[in-house]
Amino acid sequence: MELLIALTIGLLIAAGLYRLIGPTRIDMVIGLLLLSQGANLTIFASGGLKHNATALIDGDPSKLAGLTDPLPQALVLTAIVIGFGILAFLLTLILRSSPK
């Protein structure tokens, strides 16, 4: 699981950098998008990757041991929202500067 996520992050960032140096502005937007997904996955992975644990637990703290840290998931949500806003801005910028 860790290896898969690590390879995915590497692939996303490599592809993002490659598109970023592409010839058109749309290339650059796609590159930035891929880079931001790579960064988001990095944050997501920093909380630890566990599976087969229950989603809801009662008040027993000993059951917390097998669970991932939820904070990075909150952080990544914020980062996704910001990334989405920026994507909208970039696309508007391209639309406005293209000849009508």
Partner 1 sequence: MTPQSLMLLCLLAPFVGALACLPFPGRRRWSAAVAMVAMALSLAAAIALVAKTSGGEAFAIHAGGWSAPFGIVLVVDAFASLMLAVCQLVVVASLIFAARTLPSRYTRRHLFPLILLLSFGTSGAFLTGDLFNLYVWFEVLLLSSFALMAILPGQAGRSGTWRYVVINLVSSMLFLAAAGLIYGKTGTLNFADLRLRLLEADSPFLIESSAALLFGAFGIKAALIPLAFWLPSSYPLLPPALSAMFAGLLTKVGLYAFYRVFGMVFASGEGFPHRDLLLGLALVTMIGGVLGAVGQNGMRRILSFHIISQVGYMALALALFTPLALAAGIFYLGHHIIVKANLFLVTGLVETRAGSSDLAKVKGLMRSSPWIAVLFAVPALSLAGLPPLSGFFAKFALLKATLEAGNTFAALAVVGVGLLTIFSMLKIWRAAFWGGDVVATGRPPAKSLMVTSAALALVTIMIGLACGPVFGLAETAAACLLDPTAYHEAVLGTGNPRIPAKP
Residue numbers at the binding site for partner 1 (CB under 8 A): 20, 25, 28, 32, 35-36, 38-40, 42-47, 69, 71-72, 75, 78-79, 82, 85-86, 89-90, 93, 96-97
Q: Where are the alpha helices (DSSP H) in the chain?
A: 2-20, 25-46, 71-97
CB–CB of 35/12 below 8 Å?
yes
Min separation Cβ 18 and partner 1, Å: 14
Distance CA 74, CA 48 (A): 14
CB–CB of 34/19 below 8 Å?
yes
Min separation Cβ 22 and partner 1, Å: 12
Distance CA 83, CA 80 (A): 5
Min separation Cβ 1 and partner 1, Å: 15
Min separation Cβ 67 and partner 1, Å: 14
- Measured from the CB atom, the residue of 57 and 84 that comes closer to partner 1 is 84
- Measured from the CB atom, the residue of 59 and 94 that comes closer to partner 1 is 94
